[in-house]
Amino acid sequence: MNITYTPLAGCFVIEPQIFGDTRGSFMETYNKQKFPADVHFVQDNQSTSQKGVLRGLHFQKGDHSQAKLVRVIKGEVLDVAVDIRPDSTTFGQHFSIVLNDKNNKQLFVPRGFAHGFIVLKDDTIFAYKCDNFYNKESESGIIYNDPDIAIDWMLSEDEILLSDKDKILPNLKTLTL
């Protein structure tokens, strides 16, 4: 595994070593020794989506905050992490990366970040590990098109499909953290 750190402290990209032959391929997708000692994944999640679906920007507040290790099993997404740690020098800044079934890259999103992704190919399967269980009362988010964050989602507004819940999320400036 090759680990590349992003400009956002604690957020990093993992590029696995892939071993292939005539039978197919093998890669290690997770190794506890490569992660911070305080990260203990407790839950795996998976979604399937069509091109244009945007999920995010989501996070869990307080004691229910979550670190995530995200990857694409099939298809392609633009994955985005936004630093929402109030004392961070990179507060409000984001990092984005294309994850797909060809590059097999993963993104580690630490606690204190909002996370989202937009699907770039139909029938994309997105999977992620969480280090804390979901808690409905602690869920929160930031509107995907917050002008202060200025994320380029790679698709036009008329191609983006949002849930009703994600359409009414607040801007980072008005959010209570």
In a domain, 177, yes or no: no
In a domain, 24, yes or no: no
pTM given for the model = 0.94
In a domain, 79, yes or no: yes
Q: What is the pLDDT of residue 66?
A: 97
**Distance (Å, rounded) from C-alpha 90 to C-alpha 155?**
25
Produce one character per residue of 83-109: b if its CB has 16 or more CB atoms within 10 Å, e if not: bbbeeeebebbbbbbebbeeebbbbbb
From 94, 115, 128, 144, the catalytic residue: 128
Q: What is the pLDDT of residue 104?
A: 96
In this structure, what CATH number is given to the domain that contains residue 106? 2.60.120.10
Residues 6+ apart with CB under 8 A from 145: 151, 153, 157
Q: What phi, psi does 137 have (nearest 5°)?
A: -70, -20
In a domain, 149, yes or no: yes
- Provide the domain limits for residue 69: 2-17+40-167
From 58, 64, 134, 144, the catalytic residue: 58
Q: Which residues of the chain have pLDDT under 70?
A: none
**Distance (Å, rounded) from C-alpha 42 to C-alpha 48?**
21
* 128 is a catalytic site residue: yes
Q: What is the pLDDT of residue 37?
A: 81
* Domain total in the chain: 1
In a domain, 175, yes or no: no
Distances (CA, A) of 51 to 11, 48, 94, 107, 166: 26, 10, 22, 20, 17
Q: Quote the distance between the C-alpha of residue 155 and its chain's center.
A: 17
In a domain, 31, yes or no: no
The CB-based long-range contact list for 1-6 (8 Å cut-off, 24+ gap) reads: 1/28, 1/31, 1/34, 3/34, 6/81, 6/95
